[in-house]
Structure 1
Amino acid sequence: MTPRSQRLAAVVFATSLASFVAVAVAVVTWESAAQRDVQFVRWVHSSAPDALIDGMRVLTYAGSVFLLGPLMLVGVVFFIRRRRRTAAVLVLLALVGSLLVDEVLKAGFRRARPEFEDPFVQLTTYAFPSGHAFGAAAAYGALALAIASVMTTRRERALAFLAAASIVLIVAASRVILGVHYVSDVLAGVAAGVALVSGLALVLARTGRQLLGPVRRDQETQSARFDT
């Protein structure tokens, strides 16, 4: 990573980590925030049309470990074959890290999921943070960063991150619409996922493993070697 990229990653890491802490503190100590969480998810539950619910049942799988696991492993193999070892390491660590950290956080906060008389989806695990939002942010964020490592223009890299952000947003929204998470759960999940990926990128950079090289100012495409 260039010095500028490292500074940006540091800012993203600090901001996302602070955001997670702020949401967590609000959930634990701010009663009115918890009440608004409940009111909003109940309003969504009572207002969402059937077509939207059916669509979210499908789209939410974009954040499921049953999809993310194989997808990330395919990504690892792909980047190894392309000799992008740092990208492969990032993707693998993001997958394993998100699974482990999510379990630890859920066990620590032990927040119950929203309850309804007629739930769209019935789950009994803890809610905070959202594992789907966490996993999606970590997985697609890592994949976007890894894919960006083989791209040489700002536009190409921006498109990779935009695509990842769009998928994460859809997954996060689906968890609230389906009534299995509060808004604060998905906000914390996304923040944790972004913090994990940016933190991993910083650690890899500090250990001498290059990920993102400088961008080209023209629109020519060429293969760039960023791994050490």
Structure 2
Amino acid sequence: MINTLKRIPVKTYMLIVTALLIIGGGFYIFIELGEEVLEKEKFMIDRYAADFAESLATPEVITFFAWITELGSVWALSVASFIMLGVLWYFYERKKWRIVYFVIAMGGITILISGLKAAFSRDRPNIFEEYDGTGYSFPSGHSTAPIVFYGFIMYLVIRSKLNALAKWLINISLGVLILLIAFSRLPLGVHYFTDVIGGLALGLTWLLSCIAILEITLWHSGRKAKNEL
């Protein structure tokens, strides 16, 4: 066991350890919020966040966030996921594990969102079909799915051969986009703040779980290939 650990690259080992710590934190936050939601508790922070979002909700802001929120919609992420599969197949045709875990990440989070929404059955603050504001509220799908989709792209960028500046620019942009999509649900009035936080926590936990297992799989596959030479 000790010899096996010594053969794991330091970067991979650190990534896995960091991911496990964040996964634990994200899981804890989601469970804590989920328990309160099941007990039909009211959150003061939801009221404060709603008041703050309402103070920002000018027609221009609503128009901006209505556009932003579409980037996290089911149809947009579905189309983008098929495009992403094509890109992954082109670049990683002989390295199938990235494709496999992308499918697992997106397929799994879709099932989780549907199941958890039904389990918690939290009513929305408002129902607006034009902003995908239908169905149950917790966790926010627009917070959960985008962090998995765009977060997986961030991971691929980190593992790519792009220079450091390009990696920083792309990933900061994607990180800001994830937060904007999640926050857009508040001024549009279709989610509570705790829906958004719960969604981000769930999405990050699932994303990093998939990435950690993918890293282990890639390491194991590379080690196996070397042993066969």
| Structure 1 and Structure 2 fold alike (TM over 0.5) | yes
Q: Return 5+ residue gaps in structure 2 as ranges.
A: 1-10, 223-229
Whole-angstrom distance in 2 between the partners of 1:202 and 1:26: 29
Q: Residue 195 of structure 1 is aligned with which of 205, 208, 211?
A: 205
Q: 1:180 to 1:190 in 2, by over 3 A?
A: same
Could you say if the C-alpha distance between residues 121 and 74 of structure 1 is closer, same or farther in structure 2, counting changes exceeding 3 Å?
A: closer
Moved more, 121-130 or 148-157: 148-157
Q: Conserved in 2, the CA contact under 8 Å of 1:121 and 1:179?
A: no
1:113 corresponds in structure 2 to 124
User: Residues 126 and 133 of structure 2 are in contact (CA less than 8 Å); yes or no, is this contact kept in structure 1?
Assistant: no
Residue 157 of structure 2 is matched in structure 1 by 147
Q: What amino acid does structure 2 have at the position aligned with 1:183? A: F
Residues 1-228 of structure 1: matches in 2 within 5 Å?
A: 2-29=12-39, 31-33=41-43, 35-38=44-47, 40-41=49-50, 44-45=53-54, 48-83=57-92, 84-115=95-126, 121=131, 123-151=133-161, 155-206=165-216, 208-210=217-219
- Partner amino acid, structure 2, of 1:95: M
CA distance in 2, matches of 1:139, 1:119: 23
**Aligned CA distance change for structure 1 residues 121 and 62 (closer, same or farther; 3 Å):** closer
Aligned-residue offset at 1:135: 0.8
Cα 1:11–1:19, aligned 2, differ >3 Å: closer, same or farther? same
Identity of aligned residues (%): 24
When structure 1 is superposed on structure 2, of 193-202 and 73-82 the one drifting more is 73-82
Equivalent in the alignment of 2:226 = none
Map Cα deviations across residues 63-120 of structure 1 (whole Å, 9 max, x no partner).
011111121221122122112433222322221111110000000000000038x998
The verdict on how the C-alpha distance between 1:43 and 1:74 changes in structure 2, with shifts beyond 3 A counting, is same
Residues 156 and 4 of structure 1: CA distance in aligned 2, closer, same or farther (over 3 Å):
farther
The letter of the residue matching 1:112 is: D
Q: CA deviation at 1:154?
A: 5.2
Once residues 54 and 141 of structure 2 are traced to their aligned partners in structure 1, the CA distance between those partners, rounded to angstroms, is 20
Query: Where in structure 1 do 4 or more consecutive aligned residues deviate above 6 Å?
Result: none
Q: What is the CA–CA distance in structure 1 between the aligned matches of 2:170 and 2:31, rounded to whole Å?
A: 28
C-alpha deviation, 1:17, in angstroms: 1.4
Q: Which amino acid aligns with 1:11?
A: L
Q: Which runs of 5+ in 1 are unaligned?
A: 214-228
Letter aligned with residue 82 of structure 2: L
Shift in CA distance, 67/146, structure 1 to aligned 2, threshold 3 Å: same
SS at match of 2:186: helix
Q: Secondary structure at the match of 1:176?
A: coil
**In the aligned structure 2, how far is the partner of 1:141 from the partner of 1:163?**
11
How far apart are 1:29 and its partner, in Å?
A: 4.1
How many angstroms does 1:209 deviate by? 1.9
13 and 158 in structure 1: CA distance in 2 versus 1, 3 angstrom threshold: farther
The alpha-carbon distance between structure 1 residues 8 and 43, as it changes in their structure 2 partners (threshold 3 A), is closer
RMSD over aligned Cα atoms? 2.8
Supply the AA of the counterpart residue of 2:117. K
Does the 8 Å contact 2:98/2:214 carry over to 1?
A: no
